[in-house]
Structure 1
């Protein structure tokens, strides 16, 4: 292949608009160096917008590009400096394929960011294409672009939180577009002030178009929605309601088991002790049989559930009420019917679920709002699970900001 032909092929392979390869060199242990130049003889003055062809100086420097066949590729770029005819000011031409003061192309940065999202910073840096510092710079540049963006067509918002460090009480708030299943923001804290600052930054136009906000049973979230989103309906997440009911059911299970264990220790009658042992055997290993949705029980769990109900009338009634309210949520598709069914449940279940009963009464309007469109935080919980995976795999992130960037880029 002739030199001219090989240069043309390299230009086509490089695939950068208005850029041609003028020569190429290969260095063992370094990679391929392509000398490039612009096919345009002019540039646009950033001060006044005038086209200028008056070359003032040449500035040559090296930037990294996508590797070719696992070989590193470097571009020797001539970033020309022109002098404007109109304002007489010198200026350097803009390189659309590389940011100013960056040692790599935009497309290499995109590729590296994608690799980091699938792995971690140290693993990507170990390949030798870019350094850890360059990767963090790429992530920071990407985050600045994300910070300037606002949600578009946001109708249903989900607000929740995840623990940054499990068991340490260190939480961060999570804002999610429920319709797009997209993470919108992750905040270093879950205080009302931090969430309010983030929401206010979206602007009144975005906040006014939000129609529903799904939240857990925390008054702080409700207050924020009422203050900042005048057109939004607060919807109490049904799964958090069920979590409260399951918690109360499990508390009763534990209470009964402890009571039976104490009676076994105290009784001296062998016949009574044998009866208590039968009850205790029925209560043991019964947690998931009681708390899991009855439709999803395994054959073994079905047998255990029958055993629990046989030895404990109270747990039987509580489990039946738990399944009834779950069916109310699953099978009711109109708020009016929901009001009637939920009211009946409250009147009958109060004896067994006093705490859940009080909670549902306090949040009755927000719980009933679920029956309008079936809005829940299920999407938020799915995103939270992915965030936890990112947190566990983010070995190269030294602070919350880098963790936040990685999280947001996964949905961008």
Structure 2
């Protein structure tokens, strides 16, 4: 029985002294270290002189759905050389914690897939105990190795669409993991200015050595971010994220769709009016979505809208051509020529987007050098929305930030 329990608890270097079960509590397993001696932390002398036994109880991972309490003899030794009294180290328990490291790791994994209240009830813990486990992992976030960061993406996402609250996300583009999240704010000129200053503090906190080694930054089309990274990062190349440029084009196409629908509603000829409206109504996703990703039903809808609107037909073709330019592996020179030709052909259809491309031309064609984008942020955005829902709002932003970053950076295997 003792040997099988030692196998089940799997704590190398520990031996089982006793094991019994108490109804309503679970298994109580008494353990202590196998070693007869311990090294003095002050002078390094090896001693076997036990000063006293000191028992403590901590919660461990359950065994066969039974709660497990480890009753541990953490012995105190007296060093014969320096006379210091010290306690032996137990590497599977954090100092002053009532649970093992591996239980905390398992609980946090559960929380990352659920919420604190549900996990607390499932594991017979309090919310406060689980929050303590989460906060103890903040060191993982504080110890992110920025010395490895060479390429980053900066983007803003709205956790709740239409409510105007945004988060700024910094992503390591080589690991595809977020490494910083800035507090949400209304997307006004004043709040964006504050966000830029918050971002400056973050970058300056990384130190010059880190900023000097960053050689590429992918950003959305916002000048304050561009000016900031160029000011602080001496060796950086700024690339405009192509998905944000693509969004400018699809937004302009959608504006044209709405205009065409309004014009159709004013047609006096009833059969012609119905023909146009039948083709245009509910055509948004068929027009804006990548054509190769359309469902059969969406393809049929696209066909009908293109038949009734030469304007939308031409704009849709240009939108697909623009996407193709950036999805095809052109060299920098070929990519630039293809984009210039597209701009010439699209001038009368996408005047707003053309203006944006002209202002950001250098940053946009920089994509053809390394094909860098912040597209990974879309997947990060979806996970953050899920975390927000599971956390019932996270009124404390720091808790939300910690929980979010742990989703990507938590992965320690404890014994």
**TM-score, with structure 2 as normaliser:** 0.88
Question: Any idea what the Cα deviations from partners look like across 1:232-279, whole Å, max 9, x if unmatched?
Answer: 221111111111111111111111221332x34xx5xxxx34433333
CA distance in 1, matches of 2:77, 2:40: 8
Secondary structure in 2 matching 1:188: strand
Determine the structure 2 residue equivalent to 1:40. Answer: 35
Post-superposition offset of 1:330: 1.8
Paired residue for 1:407? Answer: 404
**Residue 338 of structure 1 pairs with residue 335 of structure 2:** yes
1:223 paired residue number: 227
Residue 305 (structure 1) aligned with residue 302 (structure 2): yes
Partner of residue 283, structure 1: 280
Give the distance between the partners of 1:204 and 1:167, measured in 2 at CA: 38
Give the whole-Å Cα distance in 2 for the aligned partners of 1:396 and 1:250. 32
- Which of 223, 229, 247 is the equivalent residue of 1:243? 247
2:148 — aligned with what? Answer: 153
Gaps of 5+ in 2: 185-191, 410-415
CA distance 1:29–1:370, change in 2 (3 Å):
same
SS of residue paired to 2:148: coil
* Equivalence for 1:177: 172
RMSD: 2.5
25, 28, 31: which is aligned to 2:26? 31
Give the aligned partner of residue 3 of structure 1: none
The reply on whether 1:13 has 2:17 as its aligned counterpart is no
Query: Measured at CA, do residues 322 and 139 of structure 1 come closer, stay the same or move farther in structure 2, by a change above 3 Å?
Result: same
Rate the CA distance shift 1:170–1:54 in 2: closer, same or farther, 3 A: farther
Report the 3-state secondary structure (helix = DSSP H, G, I; strand = E; otherwise coil) of the residue aligned with 1:102.
Answer: coil
Alpha-carbon distance in 2 for matches of 1:185, 1:215: 15
Q: 1:86 to 1:224 in 2, by over 3 A?
A: farther
Of 375, 379, 395, the residue aligned with 2:376 is 379
CA contact (8 A) 2:31 2:70 kept: yes
> Residue 370 of structure 1: which of 358, 367, 377 is its match?
367
**1: CA distance between counterparts of 2:175 and 2:347?**
38
CA distance in structure 2 between the partners assigned to 1:396 and 1:406 by the alignment: 12
State whether residues 37 and 78 of structure 1, in contact with CA within 8 Å, keep that contact through their aligned partners in structure 2.
yes
| Cα 1:396/1:220, change in 2 over 3 Å | closer
User: Aligned partners of 1:398, 1:296: CA distance in 2, in Å?
Assistant: 38
Match of 2:215 in 1: 211
Distance 2:3 2:278 in 1: 81
CA distance in 2, matches of 1:128, 1:335: 57
Aligned counterpart, 1:124: 119
1:22 aligns with 2:26: no
Aligned-partner Cα distance in 2 for 1:86–1:228: 55
Cα distance per residue 1:2-27 (max 9 Å; x no partner): xxxx3343233322232211122211
- In the other structure, the counterpart of 1:322 is 319
Q: Distance in 2 between matches of 1:330 and 1:283?
A: 28
Contact 1:122/1:396 (<8 A) preserved:
no
| Residues 121, 397 of structure 1: 8 Å contact kept | no
SS in 1 for 2:408: coil
Larger CA Rg, structure 1 vs 2: 1
Match of 2:236 in 1: 232
Contact 2:388–2:394 (8 Å) recurs in 1: no
* Aligned residues of 1:236 and 1:370 also touching (Cα < 8 A): yes
Q: 1:61 and 2:56 equivalent? A: yes
CA deviation after TM superposition for structure 1 residue 138, in Å:
0.8
Unaligned ranges ≥5, structure 1? 1-5
Q: Any conservation in 1 of the 2:144–2:179 contact (CA below 8 Å)?
A: no
Offset at 1:97?
0.9
CA contact (8 A) 2:8 2:63 kept: no
Q: Tell me by how many angstroms 1:136 deviates.
A: 0.9
Does the 8 A contact of 1:150 with 1:202 survive in 2?
Answer: no
